Structure 1
Amino acid sequence: MSTIATANAGHAAPANPRSRVILASLVGTTIEFYDFYVYATAAVLVFPHLFFPAGNETTALLASFAVFGAAMVARPLGAIFFGHLGDRRGRKITLVGALLTMGIATFLIGALPTYETAGWLATALLVIMRLAQGFALGGEWSGAALVATENAPAGKRAVFGTFPQLGAPIGFIIANGLFLVIAALMPSDDPSRPSEAFLNWGWRIPFLFSIVMVAVGLWVRLNLVESSAFENTVKKGKVQKLPLAAAFRDHWKELILGTLYMLATYVLFYLMTTFSLSYGRAATTAAVPGLGYDYRTFVLMMIVGVVFFGIFTLVSGPWADRWGRRKTLIWVTTGIALFGLCWVPLLSLGTPGVLAWLILGFTLMGMTFGPMGALLPELFPANVRYTGSGVSYNVSSILGAAVAPFVAVALWSVGGGSPFWVGVYLSVMALITLSALLVGKETSNVDIDA
């Protein structure tokens, strides 16, 4: 991979206005993550009741999380498909296709029959739509990150790379805020179970609403022009016939490192967003006890934490440009490893400790997630960048996010309701990422047009 003494030397002025670059990378990932969070929330609140046979609640929750994790398996396939298009046909058309795929799949989930009316067909359709969501997200993130970094001004790639990352906390707040409003309008007498109105039709509203957000995202992205990095690749005749083969042949080390770089981020991400909602709402008297909060109280506490997620996602960009991606992430990943060992002491302090746990976890999430928008694209040259960064990001989703909620619930159950082993699991994953960072090299001096 070509490197130069100073970042972005020789980088042509971006063809897209900076405001358009920021908006296009931010709006698209906000919509994609909104769609993903809507499903994640429903996987905890609704789907165990509506799409699986009545029986053991823990088994139904694990089955719901298994379907949730199925999307992570589809994500690398989406990364390969959309990465091929993005490296051969351009970033713009590929991003439009990914956004449409996600939007249609999410909308259709809101129209699905339930297990009571359609039996296993309803469950099968849910799995298919979930796979389509994962397939779409597999192509979305890397394209948005490339739009941001390939159009960034000199010395600001990490700053611009945080804007697609910012879509995660914003999407979380919109999705959970909407669920919170609907739940408040349809209150339940049983804090462990949504109301009948919510189960009958209220849960469908966030899924159906996604079509409006997709229309806005399409309008923004259709006004983009291609980045100079891709245009230069075309002019030089460097477009790869098979970008995936070229990435594995010439950049297999970068693929492995990129995958491991994201591992701790993914595990932390889904423990703090999906597992925490299950653990926070589980009754203290249940067979597998939790914190015993009602849904609205705990989601409001999560939203407070996610505000810190957003703030520190933005803060991490200037840090990564000033001190380098590698050094910044080494310190943050060390913090994640230590955080995993603090779960039980924090959670034993009652509500102040639970809130501190959420704020600290989401703060670390922003600090590790933000620099990834620049780091992963910088690992690869322009002619395989969409494929390489997408495959690394999404293969890590299988190793981290696909199994994290499932493993966490299993460890929670084995521990008799204690989160100790769940925290240890996070610490072990962080140590793996830390090892990869210590082996890897700094990428801030990479020529993004090479």
Structure 2
Amino acid sequence: MPPTAGTAQVSSVRRVIVASLVGTSLEWYDFFIYGTAAALVFNQLFFPSFDPLVGTLLAFTTYAVGFVARPLGGIVFGHYGDKLGRKNVLVVTLLLMGIATFLIGVLPTYATIGVWAPVLLVAMRFLQGLGLGGEWGGAVLMTLESGAAHRRGLNASWPQVGVPIGLLLANGVLSLMGAVTSESAFVDWGWRVPFLLSGVLVIVGLWIRLSIAESPLFREVQEHDAEVRAPIVDVVRRYPSRVLLAIGARIGVDVAFYTFILFVTTYVVTYLGLPSSYALNAVLIAAAVQVFLIPWFGVLSDRFGRRPVYLFGAVGAAVWVFAFFALLDTGRFVLIALATVVALFFHAAMYGPQASFIAELFPTRVRYTGASMGYQLAGIFGGALAPIVSVALLDRFDTSVAVSVYVVAVLALTTVCVLLAPETSRIDLHADPATAGPMERENR
């Protein structure tokens, strides 16, 4: 019996979701192995003449370059995504990220070429940031614009699941290499293997991504010849407050996340003097739980609205951050794992509805550019600075309380922005927010 049109449509949506999830997981794998390697070995290999904590700070500074590049990638690839289509851009971003990551795996260290080693490292990190900056918007929009209106929160949350999957892959491979090699061998060559694996994984991702169709909503825009000549100009002119709200709504989520999954490695290993496996394995367990939590909170945002779920996560994370460090200070792995799992539970409550929440703030013709700008600009002030600020605060005050206060302050900003933003779960994606009504109208 031949499939009905409805069955074929569901199958197409599922294919889009799988393609977006696989591609995003690989991109985040590439992005995260850099962050974890920066915490574990880059201070020794690329900044060997500095004190360990200072070397780590410098390694995190190169890590931050990727976040600085992400808004540029979001603007550039958002422009072409709004003019040429989501699918084509997603192929390019995945390829760019894969090549940059593979090349990091073959970079000579400071001992071999001196200052050129960190320079090349920064260059590759910049290319990684460009790729990821364009990836997020396209992956989210493909799922958001391809499925049913009442499941947008769930559908858009699947690319978000790529974050914990990428984290699992990155930390899992690094943990495996640490287990099968000696400490000296890991520093010499073991850390390179996860970067080199990216070349193989990207080929798989490209094959899957090339098999999907373009977003239906974008095709409608093309059919009506409604593409915008300069999407970024249109976004800045017509939707400035929505970009600012998107930035604010994301910053706290970013700071909390990178404190919970990246700075935790520095804190546990460098500050507490515990084995790196404690932090890596705790993050692995928490990331595995998040794979299920993120889509669950996406479903809840479809049922109860984006803002209530988002706010629950923000308030919960702000309260938990103090208990988080208190549990780390016990030095017991079970409690460290518990601290990280609960922390990522609250993060998932924000991250699950975040993709649909931000994307729904903008109309189809500039959605790629607008959502990418808001999301990626927040990364500069959020994820890029979080490890650097946290290390600096720990070095200055010698207490985790300073880091906790920093996280709470930024989460407070996020809470305010979510409260000021409109509820987007019931809006019509065909409508223009600039003309939707007095409460949602932007300054033109």
Q: TM-score range by the shorter chain?
A: over 0.9
Q: Which moved more, 1:173-182 or 1:348-357?
A: 348-357
The question of 1:211 aligning with 2:193 is answered no
Alignment of 1:369-408 (within 5 A): 369-408=351-390
Determine which of 86, 108, 111 is the counterpart of 2:103.
Answer: 108
Gaps of 5+ in 1: 1-12, 188-194, 283-288
* Cα distance in 1 for residues equivalent to 2:187 and 2:329: 33
Other-structure match for 2:218 = 230
Other-structure match for 1:299 = 280
* Cα distance in 2 for residues equivalent to 1:367 and 1:99: 27
Structure showing greater relative contact order (alpha-carbon pairs closer than 8 Å, 6 or more residues apart)? 1
Residues 247, 374 of structure 2: 8 Å contact kept: yes
Relative distance call for 1:344 and 1:179 in structure 2 (3 A) is closer
Determine which of 395, 412, 415 is the counterpart of 1:413.
Answer: 395
The question of 1:63 aligning with 2:58 is answered yes
Gaps of 5+ in 2: 1-7, 432-444
Relative distance call for 1:399 and 1:383 in structure 2 (3 A) is same
More helix by share: 2
Relative distance call for 1:387 and 1:15 in structure 2 (3 A) is farther
* Cα distance in 2 for residues equivalent to 1:427 and 1:176: 27
Alignment of 1:35-184 (within 5 A): 35-184=30-179
TM-score by length of 1: 0.91
Residues 309, 364 of structure 1: 8 Å contact kept: no
How many pairs are equivalent? 424
Q: Which moved more, 1:222-231 or 1:381-390?
A: 222-231
Determine which of 331, 337, 356 is the counterpart of 1:355.
Answer: 337
**Per-residue CA distance 1:216-259 (angstroms, 9 max, x = gap):** 11011111111111011112221001000000111111100111
- Aligned-residue CA RMSD (Å): 1.6
Query: Residue 403 of structure 1 aligns to which amino acid in structure 2?
Result: L
**Per-residue CA distance 1:348-405 (angstroms, 9 max, x = gap):** 5442432221111111121111111211110100000000000111000001011000
Identity score, percent: 38
Detail structure 1 runs of 4+ shifted over 6 Å in the superposition. none
* Cα distance in 2 for residues equivalent to 1:62 and 1:329: 31
1:162 Cα deviation from its structure 2 partner: 1.2
Other-structure match for 1:5 = none
Residues 102, 137 of structure 1: 8 Å contact kept: yes
Relative distance call for 1:115 and 1:348 in structure 2 (3 A) is closer
Residues 144, 152 of structure 2: 8 Å contact kept: yes
**Per-residue CA distance 1:86-121 (angstroms, 9 max, x = gap):** 000000100001001000000000011110110111
The question of 1:336 aligning with 2:330 is answered no
* Cα distance in 1 for residues equivalent to 2:152 and 2:45: 45
Residues 268, 278 of structure 2: 8 Å contact kept: no
Relative distance call for 1:447 and 1:421 in structure 2 (3 A) is same
Residues 72, 401 of structure 1: 8 Å contact kept: yes
Residues 268, 328 of structure 2: 8 Å contact kept: no
TM-score by length of 2: 0.93
Query: Residue 361 of structure 2 aligns to which amino acid in structure 1?
Result: L
Residues 183, 198 of structure 1: 8 Å contact kept: yes
The question of 1:277 aligning with 2:258 is answered no
1:343 Cα deviation from its structure 2 partner: 3.5
* Cα distance in 2 for residues equivalent to 1:427 and 1:296: 27
